[in-house]
A and B are shown apart, each in its own frame.
Chain A
Amino acid sequence: MNLENSFVNSRKGLIGIAIAVSVVVFLLTMLLVSIFRHKTEAKNPYLRLVEVKQATTDSAYWGNNWPIHFEQYKKTANASRTNFGGGDADPAQKSQMFPFLTRMFSGYAFSLDFKDRRGHAYMLSDQEKTRRVTERPQSGACLHCHASIIPTLVRMGGGEVAADQYFENIIWSGFEKIVKLPYHEAHKELEKTGSLNPQVGAAVGEFLVQEGAHPVSCTDCHNAKTMRLQVNRPGFVAGIRALKASEGVANFDVNRDASRAEMRTYVCAQCHVEYYCGPKVTLFFPWGNGVKVEEIESYYEQYKFTDGHRFFDWQHGETSAELLKAQHPEFELWRQGIHAQSGVACADCHMPYTKEGAIKVSDHYVRSPLLMANQSCQQCHAWNEKELQDRVAAIQKRNFDLLLRAGNALTEFLDSYKQLKKSFSADKVESSQDQVNLNKIAELHRKAQWRLDFVAAENSMGFHAPQEAARILAESIDYFRQAQLMSVEMLNMGHRGSSD
């Protein structure tokens, strides 16, 4: 082949060859560098540039060593939206979607201000700003969950903040102290403790304490030396011990006895639980009888305050019934569902493994699995994403409709009760039989609202355990209608109503 006179040997041809070869070499080098990069990443997942202590509550400091995790954690400040979840940039009042909430919490701070949730990054600042804290006296116990508080508890308990291991009794003694303080004083203690940031090259014992309060941080779930999952929140440590005892496992020490799979749930269950938080008694998780809605209810039934009175959170403004407040019982509801039974932990769906290059990390951008259905759901459910999303939407819509129905039952009961009350002369009951009946109605109100609140306060819109959530709402509706029936009967029969 004589190339001398061909196009290839012309100036244009030469330029053509140069371009073609350079493109091929470019692509080959891209491939080569990517192989090289992946091999290197696989060898060195992270570098420990700084030392972190259990008292390093500033996540940004941990971010020196674990930049990927920290970047993901910061993203929890982003706004996100799903049908019923996510977190808006400026969350609306929940009563916009559920108008019955304001009357439901009549006589309680939640009727004043009850905004929708948003990401972990805001957990402390939102608590500082809510009118429930700025306009109502609250105990320091609220910081048990909304702040990275363990080092503060250790300090107040007389322990060594810079230690590598914290002891339960020290934490507990500090916790009892902080519960007795009003919120704003407790907050100051939190700021005073700040974050212990070991300085590079500093002598042993020389630490920089950076004042300031932090929301949940790395130290709340991880051991600072080994990175193993660990839990320190006293409410949870005591609660899980009580729960395991009720299931026949004695002396359960969660950091010693829990499996890694269990820990992937327990770190979240430190806070995403029902609890008592108030001035009357040190915060506790009501798990002594189990975690089902009626088991917690029975625990509260037999719990007596120091003055001997039965446990209750507040008296309803309209019916004066002694009611229970349910707070986000995600752990309790999840436990009744099929995913829990199949061994799927919180982190499996909400912090699925993701790949940054060749590095596999648990996604620390904790958010709704619906926003990452491929990572969360498709690991086990091999269907296309639309089918998965549709299925979840259907489950949640059903739950939402039942929730509105229960809210409607609540409202109609309260209306009937209002009518009944009006019929009493000058708000005084007319007979002892009336009082007995009113007490029965109050009991029904307590049962009904406890169940409605249990599902309303839970953040999965029923998904964690759909059938259980539906059952709870069905019972709630039943109790509300029974209470309404009694009220109407009393009204119609001139107060000498049913005496059974």
Chain B
Amino acid sequence: MRKSYFKINYVLAFCFGIVLGLGMFVFYYGEGFSYASSDPAVCANCHAMNHQYDSWIASGHHHVATCNDCHMPSTSFNKLLAKALNGWNHSVAFTLENYHRPIQIKEYNKNILQRNCIRCHQALMEDTLLNLYKEGHSMNLCIHCHKNIGHMPIQ
């Protein structure tokens, strides 16, 4: 007969509790709730984003788009997924401090950004975009040329 080591249920529950408690504290201390909002100041919680935040304030899209409007998918489920993914990546990147300096946008977020450009400006760009699709060209990123729209390079 197998011995019952420390009533395994209690052990598991205890361990789970430790992890849950620690996790909750980290979430609270890292102001995790703030990330559910769309307040741009939240993105500047991490001072690595200070420059982007400052130059967005001075930018041409300041009055029509916040960080989430450009960098997060517009549908609720995709937004949740993107926030979760980015949140995880941010945590790893800041703990290990191994991200590229200056910070550079990755493929996944570039696609989100491109889709958001089109989402607002589709009516204007309809013909151009349709032509591109027709010729089988892969689309050039809007921001390849329109670099200073959201936030400008450091000057």
Q: Do A and B bind each other?
A: yes
B60 at the interface (CB under 8 A from A): no
Q: Which residues of B contact A343 (CB under 8 A)?
A: 155
Q: Which residues of B contact A38 (CB under 8 A)?
A: 46-47, 94
Q: Which residues of B contact A3 (CB under 8 A)?
A: 8-9, 12
Q: Which residues of B contact A357 (CB under 8 A)?
A: 97
Say whether A13 contacts B8, CB under 8 Å: yes
**A–B Cβ pairs within 8 angstroms, 28 of them:** A4-B8, A5-B2, A6-B8, A9-B4, A10-B2, A11-B5, A13-B8, A14-B5, A14-B11, A17-B11, A17-B15, A21-B15, A24-B19, A25-B22, A28-B22, A28-B23, A30-B95, A31-B26, A31-B91, A32-B29, A34-B94, A36-B29, A42-B47, A374-B101, A375-B102, A380-B154, A380-B155, A382-B104
Say yes or no: A378-B102 contact (C-beta < 8 A), given A28-B22, A360-B47: yes
**Most B CB atoms within 10 A — which of A6, A29, A32?**
A32
B84 at the interface (CB under 8 A from A): no
A379 at the interface (CB under 8 A from B): yes
Q: Which residues of B contact A10 (CB under 8 A)?
A: 2, 5
Distance between Cα atoms of A81 and B48 in the complex (Å): 30
Distance between Cα atoms of A374 and B102 in the complex (Å): 6
A354 at the interface (CB under 8 A from B): yes
Contact surface of A with B, Cβ cutoff 8 Å: 3-6, 8-11, 13-14, 17-18, 21, 24-25, 28-32, 34-36, 38, 42, 343, 353-355, 357-358, 360, 374-375, 378-380, 382
Q: How many residues of B contact A (CB 8 A)?
A: 32
Say yes or no: A355-B4 contact (C-beta < 8 A), given A28-B22, A32-B29: no
B144-155 vs A: 1/0 string, CB under 8 Å?
A: 000100000111
Distance between Cα atoms of A21 and B22 in the complex (Å): 11
Say yes or no: A374-B12 contact (C-beta < 8 A), given A35-B30, A343-B155, A355-B48: no
Shortest distance from the beta carbon of B54 to any chain A beta carbon, whole Å = 13
Total A-B residue contacts, Cβ distance less than 8 Å:
86
Q: Which residues of A contact B100 (CB under 8 A)?
A: 374
Distance between Cα atoms of A379 and B11 in the complex (Å): 52
Q: List residues of B (1-17) whose CB comes within 8 Å of A's CBs.
A: 2, 4-6, 8-9, 11-12, 15
Say whether B95 contacts A31, CB under 8 Å: yes
Q: Which residues of A contact B155 (CB under 8 A)?
A: 343, 380
Q: Which of A14, A17, A29, A379 contacts B154 (CB 8 A)?
A: A379
B18 at the interface (CB under 8 A from A): yes
